[in-house]
């Protein structure tokens, strides 16, 4: 008999660390807590420096619902601020990206201007003008007393812009990543990279389910492309490696792109020092992914919007020095697998959308398994277990028993 009633449907032989309780993906309180205890505390990649190529270029985004603006100064430095006016809390810039170089209908060139009462700021976040300051504030407040809220910001690991809301963050970015990038470091840090592809998707699913999908390769059965270009001895010998702070990487193998219909080798467009047709993957806590596959680097940045809603921004990157022809080929390679209509990406999104459908807020709690142990090999689910060990530290909750029910039951006995 294989179908189970409610009580039987628990898979009792599994240790706690081999499953999580589905409420970590659906509970509003846990979601809110994650924003405070994790997303407001750690380093988050927000964009790539090539998206702000010129002085006065900017991008806006958010971390844990706080609006963020990243700008390039005249001195070429990239800085990050809360995109919030110190006057009455208006979001200063509403565009997602652009330049302050030219004036706006209610803003001078080369300044960030809050359109509400026209306070103006320079690219270093200094307030440079308050209209009729003396008349209203006399000597109680001058432009020197106010400014934008500056955030710690680093450009690193292939030129990504990283920001943290935590002024007292314990580890700098290099220490935080703990060597997870070393496997692709020379490939992405030898010469400048450039974003050639951007799209985003808002999916009814939890952000951790996306990260789980990036962490586990057992679901390669879902990917026709990966089955035909991958399932060989080298693929099954790939290993997962855990790093401090919940990060994991997966080492490489040689992808046989020619096995896919119209597929072609990516060896002519590899990255500096990167052997042809290799594929490394880096999963960074709390939910970011860097994926170097042959001729393109993909980066996924998650912005959790609710327990069952996540925005995922997908970027594809090549070398800034690419000729027009090489860039076109790189884009074709990238999009054939990872574009919005590529072979793989929508399959992954379907996977987590199906999980999201069964894990909406208020859904019956159930166990979600990640109990495959295969000596850290490719279909071992060590990546997820490593992630949830870290999650547990930040959250002070056991992901297998997030409401502490089992402990309470034992205590009552
Ligand atoms: S809220 Fe920005 S100038 Fe008033
Ligand atoms: Fe996948």
Spell out the residues 6+ positions from residue 317 whose beta carbon is closer than 8 angstroms to its own: 48, 50, 158, 193, 194, 195, 196, 197, 296, 297, 298, 299
- Asked whether the beta carbons of 113 and 106 are under 8 A apart, the reply is yes
Top mutation candidate among 83, 84, 85 for ligand 1, by most atoms within 8 Å of CB? 85
Distance from residue 164's CA to the centre of ligand 2 (Å):
28
Alpha carbon 319 to chain centroid, angstroms? 21
The predicted pLDDT at position 54 comes to 98
Instruction: Identify the residues whose C-beta falls under 6 Å from ligand 1.
Output: 85, 87-88, 90, 114, 116-117, 119
In 130-273, which ranges are E strands? Answer: 150-156, 160-164, 193-203, 240-242, 248-250
Which structural domains are found in the chain, ordered by start? 44-154 (2.102.10.10), 192-395 (3.90.380.10)
Q: Whose CA is closest to atom 1 on ligand 1? A: 88
| Residue 194: Cβ within 10 Å count | 18
Q: How far apart are CA 90 and CA 93, in angstroms?
A: 9
From the CA of 119, which ligand is nearest? 1
From the CA of 352, which ligand is nearest? 2
Top mutation candidate among 88, 107, 113, 146 for ligand 1, by most atoms within 8 Å of CB? 88
The predicted pLDDT at position 288 comes to 97
Structure tokens at 30: 């846990």
Q: How far apart are CA 34 and CA 64, in angstroms?
A: 9
DSSP 3-state of 193: strand
For residues 169, 172, 174 and 177, what is the CA-based torsion angle, rounded to 10 degrees? -10
| Element spanning 31, H or E | helix 28-34
Atom of ligand 1 nearest to the CA of 90: 1
Distance from residue 303's CA to the centre of ligand 1 (Å):
27
pTM of the full predicted structure? 0.96
Which of these, 142, 139, 96, lies nearest to 119 by C-alpha position?
142
Distance from residue 91's CA to the centre of ligand 1 (Å):
9
The predicted pLDDT at position 128 comes to 98
Distance from residue 139's CA to the centre of ligand 1 (Å):
19
Q: How far apart are CA 330 and CA 295, in angstroms?
A: 6
The predicted pLDDT at position 53 comes to 98
The predicted pLDDT at position 11 comes to 65
Structure tokens at 329: 């080929």
From the CA of 115, which ligand is nearest? 1
Atom of ligand 1 nearest to the CA of 88: 1
Q: How far apart are CA 383 and CA 337, in angstroms?
A: 23
Q: How far apart are CA 31 and CA 229, in angstroms?
A: 38
> What strand order describes the sheet that includes 193-203?
193-203, 309-319, 296-306, 288-293, 279-284, 248-250, 240-242
Q: What is the DSSP letter of 365?
A: P
Q: Whose CA is closest to atom 3 on ligand 1? A: 117
Atom of ligand 1 nearest to the CA of 114: 2
Distance from residue 118's CA to the centre of ligand 1 (Å):
6
Q: How far apart are CA 260 and CA 113, in angstroms?
A: 52
The predicted pLDDT at position 153 comes to 98
Q: How far apart are CA 313 and CA 303, in angstroms?
A: 8
Distance from residue 219's CA to the centre of ligand 2 (Å):
6
From the CA of 211, which ligand is nearest? 2
Render pLDDT for 23-62 as a digit per residue (tens, 0 to 9).
999 999 999 999 999 999 999 999 999 999 999 999 999 9
Distance from residue 55's CA to the centre of ligand 2 (Å):
38
- Asked whether the beta carbons of 95 and 103 are under 8 A apart, the reply is no
Distance from residue 242's CA to the centre of ligand 2 (Å):
19
Q: Whose CA is closest to atom 4 on ligand 1? A: 117
What does the angle CA 283 – CA 284 – CA 288 come to, to the nearest 5 degrees? Answer: 85
The predicted pLDDT at position 323 comes to 97
Q: How far apart are CA 28 and CA 283, in angstroms?
A: 25
Which of these, 327, 330, 328, lies nearest to 292 by C-alpha position?
330
Top mutation candidate among 91, 119, 141 for ligand 1, by most atoms within 8 Å of CB? 119
What are 298-301's contacts with CB under 8 Å, separation 24+?
Answer: 298/334, 298/338, 299/45, 299/48, 299/160, 300/210, 300/214, 301/44, 301/45, 301/46
Atom of ligand 1 nearest to the CA of 85: 2
Average pLDDT, consecutive stretches of 10 residues, N- to C-terminus, the chain (413 residues): 77 84 97 98 98 98 98 98 98 97 90 97 98 98 98 98 97 98 97 98 98 96 90 92 97 87 84 92 97 95 98 98 96 92 92 97 93 96 98 97 85 77
From the CA of 214, which ligand is nearest? 2
């Amino acid at each position: 008999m294989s179908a189970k009633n409610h009580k039987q449907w628990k898979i009792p032989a599994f240790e706690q660390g081999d499953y999580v309780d589905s409420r970590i993906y659906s509970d509003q309180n846990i979601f809110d807590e994650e924003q405070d205890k994790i997303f407001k505390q750690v380093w988050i990649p927000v964009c790539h420096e090539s998206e702000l190529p010129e002085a006065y270029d900017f991008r806006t985004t958010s971390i844990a619902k706080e609006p963020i603006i990243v700008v390039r100064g005249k001195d070429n430095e990239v800085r990050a601020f809360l995109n919030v006016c110190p006057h009455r809390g208006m979001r200063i810039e509403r565009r997602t990206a652009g330049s302050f170089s030219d004036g706006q209908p209610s803003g001078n060139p080369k300044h960030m201007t809050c359109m509400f009462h026209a306070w103006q700021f320079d690219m270093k976040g200094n307030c440079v003008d308050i209209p009729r300051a003396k008349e209203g504030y006399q000597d109680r407040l001058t432009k020197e007393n106010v400014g934008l809220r500056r955030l710690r910001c680093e450009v690193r690991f292939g030129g990504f812009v990283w920001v943290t809301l935590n002024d007292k963050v314990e580890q700098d970015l290099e220490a935080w990543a703990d060597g997870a990038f070393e496997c692709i470091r020379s490939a992405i840090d030898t010469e400048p990279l450039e974003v050639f592809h951007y799209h985003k998707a808002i999916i009814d699913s939890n952000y951790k389910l996306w990260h789980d999908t990036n962490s586990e390769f057992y679901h390669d059965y879902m990917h026709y492309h990966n089955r035909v270009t991958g399932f060989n001895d080298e693929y099954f010998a790939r290993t997962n490696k855990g790093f401090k702070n919940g990060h994991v990487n997966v080492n490489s193998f040689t992808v046989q792109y020619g096995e896919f219909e119209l597929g072609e080798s990516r060896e002519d467009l590899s990255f500096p020092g990167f052997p042809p047709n290799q594929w490394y993957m880096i999963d960074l806590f709390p939910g970011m992914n860097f994926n170097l596959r042959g001729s393109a680097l993909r980066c996924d940045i998650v912005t959790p919007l609710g327990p069952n809603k996540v925005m995922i921004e997908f970027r594809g990157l090549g070398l800034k020095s690419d000729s027009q022809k090489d860039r076109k080929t790189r884009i074709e390679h990238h999009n054939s697998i990872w574009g919005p209509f590529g072979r793989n990406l929508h399959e992954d999104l379907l996977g987590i959308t199906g999980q999201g459908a069964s894990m909406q807020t208020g859904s019956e709690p159930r166990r979600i398994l990640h109990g495959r142990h295969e000596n850290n090999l490719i279909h071992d689910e060590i990546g997820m277990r490593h992630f949830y060990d870290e999650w547990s530290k930040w959250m002070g909750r056991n992901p297998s028993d997030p409401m502490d029910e089992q402990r309470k039951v034992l205590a009552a006995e």
